[in-house]
Amino acid sequence: MSLVKQLLSCEDDTCYKISMNVTNTLHSICKNNKFFLPTEVAVHNSNVDCWVSYNGGVYDLTGLCKDWARRKEIQPLVAHAGKDISHWFDHDKNDIKHYVHPVTGILVPYCPHGPIPDVIPHVVPASSWRPLDKCPWWLDESYRKGYLTKNARPCRILNVLTGTQFVMMVCEEDTVRRIQERALIYNKNGRSYTWKFEGKELNLDLTLTENGIPDERDRFVACGLPDDYYVPCLISRCNALKICYTQFNSFSSKSMKVAILGAASKTGSCLSLFLKQSPLIDELAIYDNKCTYGLALDLNYIDTRCKVSTCSSSEACLKRTLDGAKIVMIIADRLTKKELNPDDVLRCNADTLSDLLPNIIKYCPQAMVAVAMHPINSLIPLALEMYKKAGVHDYNRLFGVISLECLRANTFAAEVIGIEPECITIPVIGGSCSETCIPIFSRAKPCNKISQQEASRLTKAVRFADDEISEISKKKERTCFAMAFGAARFCMSLCKALRHQHDVVECAYVRSYVIPDVTYFAAPLALGPDGIQKHLGIPPLNDYERKLLNATVPTLQSAIALGEALALGHEHFSSERNQLNSPHTS
């Protein structure tokens, strides 16, 4: 750069032109470098696909792992595959760290995880020592894949043609053209689109910041707002002269495909039956790790328009199940404390969700995902953290289904008032367990004739309905019918929203800021073709309901922290330590 500064200081026109050429060349070199997100490096985490990052660079060491496969020196690198190992190196010298051995006083390499390739950690002077006769792997530029971004920022992209939008993480150094390449997973013809921001066409060879779209998250945090309070939206508009039929991908087609994951469970089978009867659904794709051929064959005997498809439990068949799905329902039976303790329920369903979500993100990233598994209060934060790891930051398409609590509240209130259950709506807020579910009987529609004493009794009835069923049934009968019906009703509401019907309102547990103290909360939502169209907030509460809400916040905070900790890979946890010790924690 000193040469550039000298050239720029020249007053002669020729020198000035040369200086500008040098500057432009350096700028183009920077633009041609490929930058990676930490999440992109993290997926290459095995001995046959080993990437690491250090000193700002990203390196593919798969070949090195193959050459050293039978030697113990490669084990520290394999153990750190997909991670940053900058702490191994001296940044000033760009070399392995060294330290003076306390016994011998010799300067030796610092290898805290054991010896690594191309390093001979001699502690005692020996005549067998020889200098390395080749370039060490950490200085070998042939392993370099690119550079690690200094700042990963969210970017919202709106496809004007299909009306869909999504949020993804991009590198601060990425040009708009590179962002187009990243977005091809959502629209494979995105290169033929014109990209604009606030009506101005973007220069594809410049970064977002250079196009006048700075990253302002630090300013939001300084003001006490969440860093994702506002995400800049890029408008992706189709060029009429370049339009082709393939641009109308499976998600923008009129066919309504719903995928049910967990269909072999009792609740999943009931859900499949309910949705088979819906005129809003064209195809129902069912999947489970158990055989579902018999279920699909039996459902197809029902003379409705909806067709049921299934396949075996291999990953290729899971891809076929998810491909083109607009709605994905993840379902599991609701177990009582007599069948399984809360820790085991959480661990089992968290493992199942962790296996399914990467495939959903890969094969149908624009689909609405509704989770009807327990404990919902912890599983939705876990799922959203997995979306973040994958670079997907669209929070409006992930829902925790609490329709079972809504059904029970409507039924109990209708019995007290003396009207049909279909004619009444009780909003439910908070969460989905006996400690966090808050039915707002004071806001019953169309009429409110419920006294405070009756509301208190009905609230307890809604919260502890599972316990009542468990005590009455000697066979530990599961609440599969009502839960499946509630999930089906929520799914059909999503179908209506995708078909641009107005005034579609449902209660669900989602990422929300309606309560400043918690980041996830259940409340009424207005649904649209892009998921959550509007957070309707908490309706006015009476003193009893406010008291319940205040008591709910600490329990929700613990459940959310537990789910996020599981997403980060913490193995040791206890739901009881996190105040999740109810018989049917959610």
Domain coordinates in residue numbering, the chain: 35-125+135-148, 152-238, 257-568
**Token pair recorded at residue 556:** 């929700």
pLDDT given for residue 346 in this prediction: 87
437, β-bridge pairs:
430
Q: Is 562 exposed, middle or buried (0-12, 13-18, 19+ CB in 10 A)?
A: buried
Query: What 3-state class would DSSP assign to 341?
Result: coil
Percent of the chain whose pLDDT exceeds 70: 83
Q: Which fold has domain 152-238?
A: Ubiquitin-like (UB roll) (3.10.20)
What pLDDT sits at residue 131?
64
- Mean pLDDT value of segment 38-49: 88
Say which DSSP state 83 is in: S
Q: Pairing state of beta strands 531-535 and 307-309?
A: unpaired
pTM equals: 0.65
What six digits make up the tokens of 485?
């019906």
Q: What is the pLDDT of residue 402?
A: 94
- Where b means 16+ CB within 10 Å and e means fewer, 158-195 reads bbeebebbbbbbbbebbbbebbbebbebbbebbeebeb
Chain segment 108-157, per-residue pLDDT in tens: 788 888 888 888 655 566 666 666 667 888 888 899 999 999 999 999 88
Span 549-574, mean pLDDT?
A: 81
Q: Which amino acid is at 323?
A: D
Q: Is a pLDDT exceeding 90 seen at residue 43? A: no
Q: What CATH number has the domain spanning 257-568?
A: 3.90.110.10
Decide: 127 and 191 in contact? Cβ < 8 Å: no
Q: How far apart are CA 374 and CA 466, in angstroms?
A: 13
* pLDDT at position 253 over 70: no
Backbone phi, psi, residue 59, to 5°: -130, 140
197-211, 224-238, 409-423: range with lowest mean pLDDT: 224-238
**Six-digit token string for 342:** 């809360």
Question: What is the per-residue pLDDT for 125?
Answer: 63
Give Cβ neighbours of residue 93 (< 8 Å, ≥ 6 apart).
none
> Does 371 have pLDDT greater than 80?
yes
Share of the chain above pLDDT 90, in %: 40
Supply the pLDDT for residue 33.
65
Task: Tell me which of 3.40.50.300, 3.10.120.10, 3.20.20.70, 3.40.50.1580 is the CATH number of domain 35-125+135-148.
Answer: 3.10.120.10
pLDDT at 212: 92
- Decide which of 492 and 163 is more confident: 492
- How many C-beta atoms lie closer than 10 Å to residue 221's C-beta? 12
pLDDT of residue 579: 39
CA nearest neighbour of 523 among 448, 427, 434, 425 = 427
Q: Give residue 362's pLDDT.
A: 86
- Cβ–Cβ under 8 Å, residues 227 and 221: yes
Mean pLDDT of 401-407: 93
Kindly tell me if the per-residue pLDDT of 530 is higher than 80.
yes
Residue 464 to residues 129, 245, 437, 577, 582, Cα–Cα distance (Å): 74, 53, 10, 21, 10
If you ran DSSP here, which 8-state letter would residue 305 be given?
S
The packing angle between helices 342-363 and 315-322, to 10°, is 70
Query: Considering Cα of 450, then 454, then 456, then 460, what sign does the dihedral take?
Result: negative
The model's confidence at residue 246, banded by pLDDT at 50, 70 and 90, is: very low
End-to-end CA distance of the chain: 59
pLDDT of residue 583: 34
Buried b (16+ CB within 10 A) or exposed e, 369-401: bbbbbbbbbbbbbbbbbbbbbbbbbbbbbbbbb
pLDDT of residue 5: 40
From CA 341, how far away is CA 325, in angstroms rounded? 34
Residue-level pLDDT at 492: 95
Please name the amino acid found at residue 95. Answer: D
Tell me the residue ranges of DSSP E strands in 445-578.
504-511, 520-528, 531-535
| pLDDT value of residue 124 | 60
Among candidates 35, 42, 29, which has minimal Cα distance to 150?
A: 35
Extract the tokens encoding 333: 């039976």
